Structure 1
């Protein structure tokens, strides 16, 4: 029976080609994910180990937050790491060196003034030269390190992006005015933030301290041990030498490396799980193709299998022979998929490091034995499991069927059982979905959606007839006999139609769900961004730090500006609201109503101008604020005062729950803390001239963003769109496999119906009619899958969105009509394209040979 199975595989290799491709693609997705994750993780671990090779102990000052980065937090009164501390640690018996480190954000402008890199990974640090004048952390490529406040060194990638050479002037910004510094050198770095696409700016130590902390202070001390010194013993000595305080923490380099190792492992594990989820979808789609292929092969070989039964083969042997065929197909496809997966991993890294500029760390390609075993095992297991039911069906062919070559139709009993199971599963899923939506339980919604999808897939043979019947009249009207024949062929075998369409349905369901969710979130973001904001532009730091308060007056004086208001968080201590700490949002009381719509439900509308507070619903309900209440407060600078609640606000989306006039709170904020943003209203609205005037007023700082309503909406939409595009790309593999399924079904259907096609040709249907019949049949099957997929996708998206309404203000279900129609047209196009080769093959069949075929 093994030899028989092997011969059958070789005899039907053309008909098994699409199945092999489907398994290969799914396996390639799995293998590529594992290889890429292992390679990426190994490179990160290697890079991480290099970062701590010469560090025995690290001392960190967790309270080392400098001007512009504390967001209005209270002044740091704890112990600090100073030059005195560094000298003391360096003098310890086991210490060879103690290097003081300062770091923060530093924006580098290119020749056009735009920020190089992204705002959250533009790193600034201090260059600490050793006895030879170089810093071992940052090997020099060209030039030398910075020595004074007018000099800077950049990493090579940033210098190349900006087109800078040693000796050029570089425009650099932190949170204040732009500095013009001379580039003294370029250097290499293993900093992961820079590797991820950021930039590195190195200053001399005194300049870095002035920019990020205060003169003489460090954020970190890296201690190098003398040969033979035990790290634990050095750690104990360092802890005795540094100031004692909650913000000071000393750890060994090994501990830090191990912590980074755990973080890398968690990150790569998440990435692997995420990608394998899409690989699983692709393999699940492949199951339909595999099962469909072997079902059709069994049906086409009815006579052959019956003859085997007649000459003594048992049912178990017949089942095993079909499963051996599946095993051989799965093994061949899995090996090919493994090789293709390795190629995918190499190509993915090249694309990420090339056009996408992800700057992944270099490292050798890792093909672990576990990856090889997993990829092959998954491919073989999926193929054999998918072929199990067709194998069981083959074993039930009676020996008497040897006298007939006709395909055995599915019994009514089997369809009845299938429809009953599908109906029960669908009802259970719908019930769980409704309960989850009502109770806002995401997990229950997920379970209900899964059960409903499975139930609908089981019911697809029952659904195929009525849905295809809706489209069929149009085809008969437009194409006559070929259209009628296409409809009859599409509903002739509901199982086959359902299996072929279901593969496409899965992809369309997921893509539709993502599209509806994306459109709904975009609409909610648009409403939130534009609900109460009257300002034409918002000026803020793009890296999340605070805007220098010195820039607010310059912004107010910019040409075309009619009104501005600063917005900053000010922490105060108060017991009046039943808590020890409270964040106040400080705004310009005289102008805030011109740049932001404040709706006062109770009290005075001009409470801020009277020097009183405005509080929101949350502060009233949860913190116990009431109209007329007087609060005793202690400001960040230690000054005490009293504030009175002058009004109760309606809900607002962009400002805080407690608003205070900046004239009262601003002078008592932490010195140098800055403001969160400045809201700007212009005389002519949001114009390019006003935007440029604001950029000029802030000194062309590359870290400062000037965003209007359109900019904010576009930025929000770009984030959602980018995520959706990535998901579409990952789902593309399942769609490709679904297309292979349609091609496979139509090709095997043509082979199966050779005699029928020959008879149609004999009674007058020409080649064009045959091609049209096959194409229209494929079109009907694809449209059926598309319609079911779109319907399921909208339902699943609606249920998921309903559970998030309380946590996402203004979230409603939005079904984009153009994109939804586009999915149906895409399904139709897939059906037509998939049928090109089978239709051409059918039209070229020899009439007499086809009629004689069995």
Structure 2
């Protein structure tokens, strides 16, 4: 076994690696496209995995050895009696009260931590922070801080508020406090908790600063040794009732993953499509290499080499390229993810209470390696199979590198059947699933297109040949070249087709989604002004504005009506849902899309309007009874209507504001809709609103209804921005594929080109001939790509409609067609270097080339 291994290694070094070194340009091009594909895969997984990974990392650094975490159903937290009940439960060793709440410190969003001495039992970084701050080295101990009502700052805030004796802290519930600074947290663990961006306070002070009052944000539970955690979780759930949500401390990471799943899956699908284009380049390269090495392989066969070792050696060459590309791509992908994590859109980052830092999932690099290896081996298998079957006699005659010889009719028939089956499979997957699995239908569809292209290789090549012939005399020569190498033309044309199709489909589907989201929230444009504390490009979940602020708005001259609304997140066993409270007639989506009877039931507190996503997840329909777990026990409300609503979590539940504050709390509003009286001066009313805003001790944003709609559209575009960038990368990959194929074509036809030069063809004529061939391939492949891309856009739009539970109409957008034309031009640009090289061929050397 060892002898065979070393023999195979020697053959790989002597024949395969030497060949790669002898053709550096070809090797670098092939390696580059594999590297790009691996980079995209690692970057996509790293970027979106960092959201959940950062939350997971923070949970571990706070919870430490905790087995369970008990938290409130919403941000309102837990009643303090829950701590006593948890402590008395059999199997609980330690119950650690905790405040972990986002607050604004001098305009910067950070975390506020509050706990007591029991946190030392957690064995976490937070425990170390609590322990280190009690040492004499600290400016003041926690006891001193408690006595003086002061807080301790994390190291990331030290420079920002250096020398300050007091700081301003704004809670998410609307309270504004000025507190003394007791010092800066020191110690080795200080910078590891939330990247040092936090404030530590004694438990009671932290409750006040966070707006919780006497309530707790959560309780961390350490179980007795040998206790069954699942059983303890069940007993705690029964003991505490519906007011509490009992889960593993990592539940926030799962919620963060759910919030990014949609964007991550779409973007990753585009990255995998780029890998398919890379596979075509490997296919092209390996087939050309097989032709160039026919004599070498035939000689090995004549010397007694068997077919199987030759095939394995050829595949090993592809494996080497794939592994090198995956290794380089992993390094570059890590760098890209690191640079992009800080640029994630606020619509994603604001929904998690953690400092987002690069947290590369362990699956990123293995996924890239497996994907690149799979693409490399599958793409080169046909070439390896063909070259291993070369007989010495056959090697004496020249052959078309992409010759469709024996059995091609049967092969095309089987390909046609396979394409039909794949198309059917794509439709079945799209219809059978309404979650992330449905996105697999797009990959099946593209695979069906590839197989169909193989079945229709002769008609496609005839179309390419006729297109080339229209370019005059140079086109006639280009057409003859196309006719002699049908499979090479097919592979290159399909590469361009896929690049254009992916670009057109991604752009079109993204624009359709933006248009649908815009139409979904367009009701907000009927509102004169929306007043909220959160920025325009994030959902106004927090911070809250006090109820008194709404009354002050209503007192402004020219204001006819002020409608308060509040958003909060509701923790459910099936996932986190968005909860909305509405105080009166509103222009918000959930209210406006509901029928009049449902609107009346909602405001009366007897009904709820839910999104299609929520209804789908919970098996609800109009008229059903919805049970909500609250601090006041389980509350039942009738589903008055089911509407479309754009959300990234487990959907929306809209109820009356007084029910929300009664069942969940706290009082206040995330936003106020301001309606100006008929005939009143809108500019004067705005001036009055902005004057009131300037008097507040915190920042308040005043938006028009149209600005609010535009902000939603911008947020949707931001979430799909990476996928749109990837499609241009794919277009560049297609240009590389065309460059590589035409460069190989020039090398293969050096003798033919030399003879043409000897017969009087000028350098410019030769360049125009190569460019005519490239133009024909790009135009036919691009035209097919527009057709395929339109069909793929339709399929993607239907899938997104089901997955997002949102009606997304299909429309062919001008932007998608413009991008498709741009991709064709990029692919054609890849033909210039080989055309230039062909024009510079030395006549004597070219005629003597073998």
Q: TM-score, normalised by structure 2?
A: 0.71
Deviation at 1:337, TM superposition (A): 3.4
Partner of residue 494, structure 2: 502
When residues 783 and 213 of structure 1 are mapped into structure 2, their CA distance, relative to the original with a 3 A threshold, is same
Partner of residue 288, structure 1: 280
Question: Structure 2 CA distance, aligned partners of 1:283 and 1:650?
Answer: 40
Deviations 1:667-725 (A, max 9, x none): 98888533454211247898798289358438546575544333333332333323322
Partner of residue 3, structure 2: none
Task: Choose which of 394, 398, 401 in structure 2 pairs with 1:405.
Answer: 398
SS at match of 2:775: helix
Deviations 1:739-797 (A, max 9, x none): 43222211111111112211222233221222232233233333433333332222122
SS at match of 1:106: strand
Matched, 1:812 2:823: no
Matched, 1:330 2:345: no
Give 1:748-759 correspondences, 5 Å limit. 748-759=744-755
SS at match of 1:521: helix
Provide the aligned length of Structure 1 versus Structure 2. Answer: 776
SS at match of 2:720: helix
When residues 128 and 705 of structure 1 are mapped into structure 2, their CA distance, relative to the original with a 3 A threshold, is farther
Question: Structure 1 CA distance, aligned partners of 2:373 and 2:168?
Answer: 59
- Whether contact under 8 Å (1:61, 1:80) holds in the other structure is no
- Whether contact under 8 Å (2:171, 2:209) holds in the other structure is no
- Whether contact under 8 Å (2:11, 2:313) holds in the other structure is no
Give 1:199-598 correspondences, 5 Å limit. 200-210=198-208, 216-220=214-218, 245-246=240-241, 280-302=272-294, 311=302, 316-317=306-307, 320-321=309-310, 323-328=312-317, 330-331=319-320, 333-334=321-322, 336-337=324-325, 339-341=327-329, 343-344=331-332, 346-348=334-336, 350-352=338-340, 382-397=375-390, 399-401=392-394, 404-405=397-398, 407=400, 410-411=403-404, 414-430=407-423, 443=438, 449-450=445-446, 452-459=448-455, 461-465=457-461, 467-468=463-464, 472=468, 476=471, 480-531=472-523, 534-540=526-532, 542=534, 544-545=541-542, 547-558=545-556, 561-567=559-565, 587-588=583-584
Matched, 1:679 2:635: no
SS at match of 2:183: strand
- Whether contact under 8 Å (1:790, 1:820) holds in the other structure is yes
Deviation at 1:465, TM superposition (A): 3.3
Partner of residue 155, structure 1: 154
Task: Choose which of 173, 176, 179 in structure 2 pairs with 1:175.
Answer: 173
Deviations 1:392-433 (A, max 9, x none): 333555544455435477346644334333433444455566
Deviation at 1:554, TM superposition (A): 1.4
Question: Structure 1 CA distance, aligned partners of 2:580 and 2:560?
Answer: 26
Deviation at 1:622, TM superposition (A): 3.3
- Whether contact under 8 Å (1:41, 1:265) holds in the other structure is yes
- Whether contact under 8 Å (1:565, 1:679) holds in the other structure is yes
- Whether contact under 8 Å (1:429, 1:450) holds in the other structure is no
When residues 749 and 396 of structure 1 are mapped into structure 2, their CA distance, relative to the original with a 3 A threshold, is same
Matched, 1:770 2:781: no
- Whether contact under 8 Å (1:541, 1:705) holds in the other structure is yes
Question: Structure 2 CA distance, aligned partners of 1:818 and 1:220?
Answer: 49
Deviation at 1:843, TM superposition (A): 1.4
Larger proportion of helix? 2
Partner of residue 793, structure 2: 797
Deviation at 1:384, TM superposition (A): 4.5
Question: Structure 2 CA distance, aligned partners of 1:586 and 1:37?
Answer: 33
- Whether contact under 8 Å (2:99, 2:203) holds in the other structure is yes
When residues 218 and 239 of structure 1 are mapped into structure 2, their CA distance, relative to the original with a 3 A threshold, is farther
When residues 101 and 819 of structure 1 are mapped into structure 2, their CA distance, relative to the original with a 3 A threshold, is same
When residues 199 and 714 of structure 1 are mapped into structure 2, their CA distance, relative to the original with a 3 A threshold, is farther
When residues 349 and 24 of structure 1 are mapped into structure 2, their CA distance, relative to the original with a 3 A threshold, is closer
Question: Structure 2 CA distance, aligned partners of 1:166 and 1:740?
Answer: 57
- Whether contact under 8 Å (1:306, 1:397) holds in the other structure is yes
Q: Which moved more, 1:611-620 or 1:807-816?
A: 611-620
SS at match of 1:539: strand
Q: TM-score, normalised by structure 1?
A: 0.71
Task: Choose which of 817, 832, 848 in structure 2 pairs with 1:836.
Answer: 832
Partner of residue 622, structure 1: 622
When residues 163 and 4 of structure 1 are mapped into structure 2, their CA distance, relative to the original with a 3 A threshold, is same
SS at match of 1:453: helix
- Whether contact under 8 Å (2:545, 2:668) holds in the other structure is yes
- Whether contact under 8 Å (1:20, 1:330) holds in the other structure is no
Q: Which moved more, 1:761-770 or 1:272-281?
A: 272-281
Question: Structure 2 CA distance, aligned partners of 1:131 and 1:243?
Answer: 25
Deviations 1:584-618 (A, max 9, x none): 965446xx69999979988999x89x999999899
When residues 445 and 135 of structure 1 are mapped into structure 2, their CA distance, relative to the original with a 3 A threshold, is closer
Question: Structure 2 CA distance, aligned partners of 1:98 and 1:449?
Answer: 53
- Whether contact under 8 Å (1:128, 1:205) holds in the other structure is yes
Deviation at 1:381, TM superposition (A): 6.1
Task: Choose which of 9, 23, 30 in structure 2 pairs with 1:19.
Answer: 30
- Whether contact under 8 Å (1:158, 1:200) holds in the other structure is yes
- Whether contact under 8 Å (2:287, 2:383) holds in the other structure is yes
Partner of residue 572, structure 2: none
- Whether contact under 8 Å (1:330, 1:384) holds in the other structure is yes
Deviation at 1:196, TM superposition (A): 6.7
When residues 203 and 493 of structure 1 are mapped into structure 2, their CA distance, relative to the original with a 3 A threshold, is same
Question: Structure 2 CA distance, aligned partners of 1:131 and 1:395?
Answer: 67
Gaps of 5+ in 1: 71-75, 111-115, 571-582, 626-634
Task: Choose which of 108, 112, 119 in structure 2 pairs with 1:124.
Answer: 112
Question: Structure 1 CA distance, aligned partners of 2:276 and 2:337?
Answer: 26
Task: Choose which of 803, 819, 823 in structure 1 pairs with 2:820.
Answer: 823
RMSD: 6.1
Question: Structure 2 CA distance, aligned partners of 1:612 and 1:34?
Answer: 43
- Whether contact under 8 Å (1:423, 1:455) holds in the other structure is yes
Question: Structure 2 CA distance, aligned partners of 1:273 and 1:811?
Answer: 18
Question: Structure 1 CA distance, aligned partners of 2:38 and 2:52?
Answer: 21
When residues 508 and 247 of structure 1 are mapped into structure 2, their CA distance, relative to the original with a 3 A threshold, is same
Task: Choose which of 736, 748, 773 in structure 2 pairs with 1:740.
Answer: 736
SS at match of 1:697: helix
- Whether contact under 8 Å (2:610, 2:654) holds in the other structure is no
Gaps of 5+ in 2: 1-6, 121-125, 535-539, 569-578
Deviation at 1:817, TM superposition (A): 1.1
